[in-house]
Structure 1
Amino acid sequence: MTEKLSPGVGKVLKRLHYPLDVMLLCVRWYVTYPLSLRHLEQMMAERGIAVDHSTVHRWALKLLPVLEKEFRRRKRTVGKSWRMDETYIRIRGEWRYLYRAVDKAGNTVDFLLRARRDKAAARACFEKAIDQNGEPETVTIDRSGSNLAALQAINAPRDVPIKVRQKKYLNNIIEQDHRAIKRRTRPMLGFKKFRCARILLGGIEVMHMIVKGQMDDGGVDQNPAQQFYSLAG
């Protein structure tokens, strides 16, 4: 396996001293299931592998950015009708905001963690989503004034503006999709650092997209676990 590693993973492994398959298993479980780090420590101990919960956390922080970068290279194209909304994430006892967008089929378009809920945050999310996925034809939002102001600012220089709809019931699909992310973050009992939250949420979102079938596996017909492992190279 080490002969086929991506350059990013190979660089990470120089500083980590466990077998890659063990690290990937722990990281995948952590971003897929509602497990705490101490649960993972106990589960690995039952398999005869001694690993501290803080070590699993370090593996996740080192590996997930590399795996997310590779996933984005293989991500399937999303539709042109988007639903955008934000949900709350607790970091150091304070609420922060995870902006998320899905298309009308429920496929994740993009996401962005921000410290504030305002026009600048909403615009940053829209611009990131457009940069990564191309321009949508329509964006549906709720009655948030900051989200509307962000889209109006993005539309201002365009000859053909993005159509904006403010219809809350049409956003049910993304509100339901938030639940999959919140189910995973709940056992974490809040994040301690913004940077850690951003990385771990990125990993959770990547695994969520893989489960939804948003990764191009080259026609190999791999299951979600195999797709996740293939991101390492």
Structure 2
Amino acid sequence: HGQVIDVWLSTRRDLTAARAFFTRALATGAVPVKVATDGAPAYPRVLDELIAGALHDTEQYANNGVEADHGRLKARLRPMRGLKTFRSTRILATGHAFIQNLKRSHYDIATHAPVHQRLPAAFNELALAI
């Protein structure tokens, strides 16, 4: 699984939203070699503009990993009956991405721990650092 670089929530999926997302994601310093998206018409133009060297994969099952991750987030939200504000949605989605990256060892935190113990070990390391 790839690393979640950024989370973006928008009411629209137009050029402005796509450009804002990719600009903010690239500001983290990570430049992807491959970007898997669905077939939204705004993505190819923005990717050619901002990350010309990246492979844009829009094959039918290319973004299954992203959709599966969305499924875990939606399963978490279902008992909560959704979220009331854009702000709370953004906070929860960003936290979810952080936890997924910890579990997948995308950070140098708790990499020594076995997979099933990685998350508690990461929180112990973070607590000691604070």
Same fold by TM-score, threshold 0.5 exceeded? yes
The alpha-carbon deviation at position 186 of structure 1 amounts to 1.6
Q: 1:179 aligns with which of 66, 71, 95?
A: 71
Distance 1:173 1:218, change over 3 A: closer
Q: Which is greater in Rg?
A: 1
| Equivalenced residues, count | 125
- 1:89-136 alpha-carbon deviations (Å, 9 max, x no partner): xxxxxxxxxxxxxxxx34323221223221211222222222214212
Q: Percent identity?
A: 32
1:116 maps to what in 2? Answer: 12
More strand by share: 1
Judge conservation of contact 1:141–1:168 (CA < 8 Å) in 2. Answer: no
Residue 210 (structure 1) aligns with: 102
Aligned with 1:164 (options 56, 68, 81)? 56
1:47 aligns with none
Inter-partner Cα distance in structure 2 for 1:189 and 1:229: 31
Question: Map of 1:30-109 to 2, 5 A cutoff?
Answer: 105-109=1-5
Q: TM-score, normalised by structure 2?
A: 0.76
* Partner amino acid, structure 1, of 2:39: R
- Unaligned 5+ runs, structure 1: 1-104
The alignment's C-alpha RMSD in Å is 2.4
Amino acid corresponding to residue 206 of structure 1 in structure 2: F
Q: CA deviation at 1:224?
A: 0.5
Q: Which runs of 5+ in 2 are unaligned?
A: none
Distance 2:108 2:94 in 1: 18
Structure 2 residue aligned with 1:225: 120
Q: Secondary structure at the match of 2:108?
A: coil
Find out whether 1:143 has 2:39 as its counterpart: yes
Q: Helix, strand or coil for the counterpart of 2:61?
A: helix
Determine which of 1, 4, 28 is the counterpart of 1:132: 28
Q: Which moved more, 1:117-126 or 1:215-224?
A: 215-224
Counterparts of 1:126 and 1:114, CA distance in 2:
13
Q: 1:219 to 1:225 in 2, by over 3 A?
A: closer
Matched residues in 1 for 2:73 and 2:67: separation? Answer: 11
Cα distance, 1:228 vs structure 2: 2.6
Kept in 2: contact 1:106–1:177 (CA 8 A): no
Q: Distance in 1 between matches of 2:15 and 2:75?
A: 27
Which amino acid in the other structure matches residue 34 of structure 2? T
Given the superposition, is the C-alpha separation of residues 112 and 231 from structure 1 closer, same or farther in structure 2, using an over 3 Å criterion?
farther
Change (3 A) 1:135 1:151: same
Q: When the two structures are superposed, what TM-score results if normalisation uses the length of structure 1?
A: 0.47
CA distance in 2, matches of 1:214, 1:108: 9
